């Protein structure tokens, strides 16, 4: 999903969604140097999610074996 940085307020950015509604996003979630008017992309990284889940499952199995 591509969103637009509408403006900055205190410790968050007001982000415009594709349906033109807005949400507040904490500044710590944005890349350094992002400016008002910039378009950013938010997407799920399903490959990384699967990899992380597999790693957690392996650690859990190791704990159960002890």
Q: Tens of pLDDT along 6-38? A: 999 999 999 999 999 999 999 999 999 999 999
User: Phi/psi of residue 19, each to 5°?
Assistant: -85, 10
With H, G, I as helix, E, B as strand and everything else as coil, classify residue 63.
helix
Asked if 37 contacts 43 with a C-beta cutoff of 8 angstroms, the reply is no
55, with CB counted inside 10 A (0-12, 13-18, 19+), is exposed
pTM for the whole thing? 0.70
Q: How many residues does the chain have?
A: 66
pLDDT in tens, 36-59: 999 999 998 888 889 999 999 999
């Amino acid at each position: 999903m591509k969103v637009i940085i509408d403006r900055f307020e205190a410790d968050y950015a007001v982000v415009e969604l594709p349906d033109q509604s807005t949400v507040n996003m904490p500044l710590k979630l944005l890349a350094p140097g992002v400016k008002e008017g910039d378009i950013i992309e938010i997407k799920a990284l399903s490959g990384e999610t699967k990899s992380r889940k597999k790693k957690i499952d392996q650690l859990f199995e190791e704990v159960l074996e002890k």
